[in-house]
Amino acid sequence: MIAIQNLSKKYGTNEVLKNINIQFDKGKVYGIVGENGAGKTTLFRCIADLEEYEGKISSNSTPIKHQLGLLLTEPFFFQKITGKEYIQLLCNARKIKIADIQERNIFDLPLEQYASTYSTGMKKKLALTAILLQNNDYFILDEPFNGVDIQSNIIITEIIHKLKSLDKTIIISSHIFSTLSDTCDEIHLLNKGSFIKSVQKTDFPVLEMEMKQMTIGSKIENLRLI
């Protein structure tokens, strides 16, 4: 469980998050949606204790970052580290010994190759593999499907279902609504730093339609395509 109370975050005079109150329970998958700049990544970084903030974030595990697997949109890799060494590094941080990395390389990544030479999708799959092998209780996946091939998207979807069955807490952001529909129990709409709507699975189609109308409006007609 992750409980967030009165969370606010400013960069100078710019208030990115405004009095956020929400709880994420174990065994559930939560989707966070919103336009670019809505505050999704900042929220994730606050939960991971990578940002200073006002308010309170609590969990069953203290500190939360010791049981949190954070998949960033653009994972960082040292210049001269192989895929295998990266996985070992993250597992060592949790004091976990991994002797069968190649057997657990479900994305068939070239683990002896420098991670910095990987494609965008390969980097994301490597970072995801590493946090999965850390045996975390909480997972934040920021755009996990973006830039990844369709076969890997299918695998990632099934991984999320498996994490849910293991009673993990999973929070996902995605600009592809269908991926959230396939994985989430709840979706929360973030707009200009505040949650303005929360829906259960039965109402996902309604939310998708509302988001389309909000985003598109009359913009297509204004193009005057012929």
Q: Give Dmax over CA atoms of the chain in angstroms.
A: 62
pLDDT at 215: 75
pTM: 0.92
User: What is the C-alpha separation between 165 and 155, in angstroms, rounded?
Assistant: 15
Domains, the chain: 2-77+138-222 (3.40.50.300)
Phi, psi of 164 (to 5 degrees): -60, -45
**Average pLDDT, 10 consecutive residues per value, the chain (226 residues):** 96 94 97 92 96 94 90 91 96 91 95 96 97 96 94 96 97 91 95 94 90 77 82
pLDDT in tens, 68-82: 999 999 999 988 999
Closest CA to 44 of 70, 26, 23: 70
Q: What is the rounded distance in angstroms from the CA atom of residue 51 to the CA atom of residue 71?
A: 16
Give the SS3 label for residue 149: coil
DSSP H or E segment with residue 130: helix 120-132
What pLDDT score was predicted for residue 165?
A: 97
Pairing type for strands 2-11 and 54-59 reads antiparallel
DSSP state of 58: E
Residue 171: partners with Cβ closer than 8 Å, 6 or more residues away: 2, 24, 29, 30, 32, 44, 47, 138, 139, 140, 141
Q: Tokens standing for 98?
A: 């991994």
